[in-house]
Structure 1
Amino acid sequence: MSATIKDIAKVAGVSYMTVSRALNGSDAVTDETRERVLKIAEELNYRPNLQARSLVMNRKYSIGVVFSTLSSATAPSFMQACLNGIYQTLAKDYNLVIKDLERGLEHFNLSRVDGVIFVSQQESDDKFIDFALAQGTKLVVINRRVERESLVNVTADEVGGAARAVKFLIEHNCRRIALINGPAKIQSSIDRQLGYQQALSMYGMSIITDWVQDGKFSIQGGYDAMNLLLQHKNNLPDGVFCANDEMAFGALKAINEAGLNVPKDIAIIGFNDSEMCQFTTPALTTVRKPIEEMARLGAEALFALINQKHIDSTVHQIATELIIRASVR
């Protein structure tokens, strides 16, 4: 039989209510008492009765994580990084309920979770955001800029990151720079193409329509898009900015199969800095998007809302970073 709150109170020499407050993170107990109670609870292998706690605290002990485009435009590495960041903050007694907006939310009852982290990708997501807010749902939106009063919104500087990548190619003597981008409706595609255009314009370089290809944010898409670019045999690009790492992996394969060398013939830069970038041949230069940090900050903000704590700022934009490896010489 597992230990109860009364067992902990007896060993700690405090009241049942003090133990309950300490376990629930109340500010009504001192740090010393809280630490002693938590230590005793661990020693007694205490396991909370979540059903009872849910009734008393009016909590569901579940967090919803809704992905906007999980089926069509979310790379596996991006999803994994998001979940890793959320799990860094998730309390041990909480569960995650993961949903895909594209597949519909008919069986997702917002009243059965304490709050939602929405990984937004496109403007059409605003319909869900407005619905959730109208229901009184505690909501944090990450990954896409959203203009809503008092809504917590955590994003990364994707325009700046893309511009830095293209500038780096130009500074390393690339003059014919192609873009392999994601689906046009996705905000990350829009932002990364804007950064690409800004960098070219800054150096007085023309944007050639045929050098902008849709790689669908996938390895296969990047491979197919690169093969289309390689058809311009008399005017091959000497640099390619891929709007995510998966497309860059596909582009690398296509270039190698064509008998060309990266970076000698064509330089490549990706975006996100997924784990595989350091294991490709050559290792992939990329823009690090702090996905885990973005998700972690979003989760911290959501728990602050759930616990009715003050949030200093509702809008956060995190810097991106160019990670230089061997795919640009």
Structure 2
Amino acid sequence: MSQAAVEKHMRAECFLLYNVLYDGVVDCSNSLEDEDEVELPPQAAVLSAFQPDCYGHAVSVKEWFVFPGNPLQEPTRVTPKPLNYTKGPPDLMALWFRTDPDVKTIQASTLLDVFDLYEFTEELKQFDSPVIAVICLVTYIAIQTRQLSLEDVDAYLSQAVCVRFKSFTEMQQLRTSVVDPRAVQLGSLFVRGLTYLIAANSACGYPFPMGELMPWKTFDGLLFHSKYLQAHSGSPKEELLEGNPSWISLFLSVRDLVLGACRRRGAPVQSQPRRLQYRDAWPVEVDDLRGESRPQLHHTTQQPTASAHYQQGYRPRHPKRGRYQLAPRWPKSQNTD
């Protein structure tokens, strides 16, 4: 088993499990997080699958997680949270090396149990791997943070539906006129969460093809930013899904599953539109996500106006805070089918 973990690690797979097996360590740094954003918890708190070990359990790991107030002078000793439906600890030998026809079902149900979505095993069979990945991750984030609004969920899910059908040329032509720091943080959280979902998929024996979970199949930061601005400005679902009936149907099916799972776990998602006012965001003047020099960028879809109502919960940006320097996006596959 240890040798198999080494081989997976050398193929850039199973990084999380390798660290746990060999060093008994798990870590999570911060990335793009807004220090003025007090509603959203840090990424490390959202993505932790462990709980403090207060009882001296034999199986525990050292956790190095970066978040405000943690001096990182010594690790926290934590123990994994038990799975709810899997009977006993998962058998890695079976998950990794069994080849019989039933193993895929076991692998998939174990992965869903990791994200506490075991009861949706049958419902999720109607979707393909990238959509299942998004359902798992958005539901997990919504339950863990308890701070996602209905508009945030709509932005996550609408971009996940649209990105599947966008050509490379269409993605290159995307523009947005402002940068909302909260949207940047939510986008960063999703991509970080995706790395953990990929690690869990590897640990469960690859119930889903690794290539189906890559960001160019599930997430685009600029497209998400566009949908976020639309959703929070009150755009109807038809506009979010660009008037395509089949996209709208897929979106509504996925949305019902996510919201239903959140309600069952005592974390109902409420509508909380944050109508963006330009003094709370930064105009994109020079660098877009491809690092090109351009004049003021504009998006072709409806955007909030400068006269939008300043709602409670939106804080003016700190006068000494600068703009985000937008980094290159994930490379887009040239296959546009």
Q: Give the TM-score normalised by structure 2.
A: 0.24
Query: Greater strand percent: which structure?
Result: 1
| TM-score normalised by L of structure 1 | 0.25
Larger of the two Rg values belongs to structure = 1
